Structure 1
């Protein structure tokens, strides 16, 4: 472990540490966006669902291009555009006073995330030795959750869950993050093999899309993870609305903030032991188990009659989340062709179709049945989420078959 930590590139540490503060600032505002729109702006659950969903919808299509363009022009330029663009978006949130402006700002938020996420993960892959990649991707995931531990609590403490000040704070943090990245790129310039763009003729967008979409293992992983993300997306879209408007629950927004922090604390507590065990299995198997656990936890939210059952549901949800997402980057890195890593990391962003569907489906169910009938809301949600299991199982069997063929060829040679 100590030797692997020493091998981590300074730029990788910058991305990891910057992720802590970026997610801390973001989690003070974005998770409460649905509550803010409903309670402060007078938006209906369906309107709120559409506004929350547009970020993921735009991100679905921008993510592939974001990863692709980082292969073409280099990681550094795309990172700067996305981070400073993000800062402007959060300032725009703070200045918005109309519902349609929140729609526009959240669409731009989705573009920035779609540019930053695949590019930062591809850069981490570029500058990290193979033996340390699992550690680096897990440190990045731990950084996300460390930020989410304190962000919601800080937002609640400052009373920012019903204020637009949190958006200004987030904008300031991303400006500082961008400046730190500039300094680190000056101090530690990328070598020729770490630029993201290659010396060979770059692949065209249409050819890149055809290559990734024609990869049968990758496509089944992608379809399966759409349903994984669909289930996961309800935690930050449907659940906060349900808790805020539920007449049987007092201080629902406050309880949701505590649940967000509990989710992050449990991630930090179980991540490395769970990943250590999960890494012994073929990489798709943990995704299948995680998908099932998230679906079970969604049913538990609908059945919860006490705070302790909510706590149990959050714990089960969180372990499922860890199983789904900590090994996903490693899986994509393993499947991806070396010259198209940014493109593959961008293409996996299409699983955010799940994040698009979650708030729309959840908002429709809440409008149709209301918070007084939680089983009518959470049963369809749980059943739709578990639909990812068959696709992931097919990907698992195809990877096994591919591995056996490769072993047979090597033995024959």
Structure 2
């Protein structure tokens, strides 16, 4: 693998080498998926203005608008799980197509609907279909990208996501000035464009690069080699049969994976501070919406300009060490807000935590892919992605109470939480690496006939 990675890099330095290190050696299917994600994110702006649309155009109160937006979030949690299951059972391409086509129809329906009850129901459904593609996108990328090139692939995915969101925010502001209804209609067109690209250029990837073997069966005495699909496994030491019914429960009971998801949840809680609690703190410091917009814009610009340089910085380092550093940077950046009271201080802190977010993106996605048994790849993705809607609920709920109760002390608590998570990555890293190595060996080992008998 090391030799393959070195082979990817030309001897010459300069821009050509940087381009190869950043985007070289990736298959065409990845680039079509990447383009689809970019188009999808750039056009996914209608829901960003949903609360304003409801209060300004449909006469909803702020509390009712909050409930409708909350319904969208609840649908997102369900959609992530549904998308993971369908992507593993039905296929990545089929799931992506279905989700985008249904989303386009729902967007048109939202543009034409006037009854608040109907809008709430449609928002719930859009939340489901908006979240369904996430595990399918990532699972398809893992299917087609060789392991030693996945870090750069996930880095480019994160970059496309943020670039698309930056474009979406700009376009949304312009369209909202003209017509809120236009937001939903243009969103529907962009969603259809993504579906068309996937239908035209993205083949079904389920079943490629070893995605069909069943996960290894486990017994009270250890882990057995991976037998053919649909078999009944018996241990030499413990003769009790172990029926493999792989599903979401497999991910939820995977100790190494759930530890990683828990640490990712803390990272997400830290990241969510910028969009949930920081605006309140800035207002308390006498800084207006324009100041907050400046901080958010700086973070977006840093990611768009700097994310492509991340692979060369982190590829030679252990993922656990990179994640520990990135989480520590988030902790320091947000913890420093305890002393912030002017815009320049907020901007400096923003640089620190944004660098942390940039470093975290590739190893986070790669560890998730490494820990997932191939047959459950999308299900593991769906459980992983649940950390983010959960954080979007916990961060404002507990953060608002904490800020009101302890004031600037809230940021010290956030910083301490982040430093604990950084230590958690260092402690969990060696065991996680051994688990990944064991999974690779199991997939490479031939099956012993005495260990598997047809059910």
- Fold match by TM threshold 0.5: yes
Match of 1:249 among 287, 299, 304: 287
The structural deviation recorded for 1:279 is 2.6
The structural deviation recorded for 1:80 is 0.9
Q: Does 1:265 align with 2:304?
A: no
- Farther off after superposition, 386-395 or 8-17: 386-395
Match of 1:328 among 355, 358, 364: 364
1: distance between equivalents of 2:380 and 2:354?
Answer: 26
Q: Which has the higher contact order (CA 8 A, sep 6+)?
A: 1
2: distance between equivalents of 1:376 and 1:190?
Answer: 49
- Given that residues 84 and 174 in structure 1 are in contact (C-alpha distance below 8 angstroms), is that contact kept between their aligned partners in structure 2? yes
2: distance between equivalents of 1:313 and 1:300?
Answer: 7
* Match runs of 1:64-75 below 5 Å: 64-75=81-92
2: distance between equivalents of 1:88 and 1:6?
Answer: 37
Q: Does 1:399 align with 2:436?
A: no
- Farther off after superposition, 341-350 or 395-404: 395-404
Higher helix share: 1
2: distance between equivalents of 1:97 and 1:380?
Answer: 44
Match of 1:12 among 1, 6, 30: 30
Q: Give a deviation string over 1:191-250, Cα, whole Å, max 9, x none.
A: 85279667964799963234323322212101111111112223334445666x769333
1: distance between equivalents of 2:365 and 2:134?
Answer: 11
* Match runs of 1:260-339 below 5 Å: 260-301=296-337, 303-339=339-375
- Farther off after superposition, 345-354 or 355-364: 355-364
The structural deviation recorded for 1:78 is 0.6
The structural deviation recorded for 1:126 is 0.8
Q: Does 1:43 align with 2:62?
A: yes
2: distance between equivalents of 1:376 and 1:94?
Answer: 44
1: distance between equivalents of 2:130 and 2:210?
Answer: 20
- Farther off after superposition, 331-340 or 31-40: 31-40
Cα pair distance change 1:305/1:104, threshold 3 Å: farther
- Given that residues 75 and 124 in structure 2 are in contact (C-alpha distance below 8 angstroms), is that contact kept between their aligned partners in structure 1? yes
Which residue number corresponds to residue 193 of structure 1? 208
* Match runs of 1:308-387 below 5 Å: 308-352=344-388, 353-362=390-399, 375=408, 378=411, 381-383=414-416
Name structure 2 gaps, 5 residues minimum: 1-7, 9-18, 215-227, 232-242, 443-455
Cα pair distance change 1:11/1:406, threshold 3 Å: closer
The count of aligned residue pairs is 397
Q: Give a deviation string over 1:163-188, Cα, whole Å, max 9, x none.
A: 45433322221111112211224xx5
- Farther off after superposition, 233-242 or 346-355: 233-242
Structure having the higher Rg: 2
Which residue number corresponds to residue 153 of structure 1? 170
2: distance between equivalents of 1:37 and 1:364?
Answer: 27
Match of 1:21 among 29, 35, 39: 39
Please give the TM-score of this superposition, normalised by the length of structure 2: 0.72
2: distance between equivalents of 1:202 and 1:142?
Answer: 40
The structural deviation recorded for 1:346 is 1.8
Please give the TM-score of this superposition, normalised by the length of structure 1: 0.79
Residue aligned with 2:104, SS: helix
Which residue number corresponds to residue 274 of structure 2? 235
2: distance between equivalents of 1:327 and 1:146?
Answer: 19
Name structure 1 gaps, 5 residues minimum: none
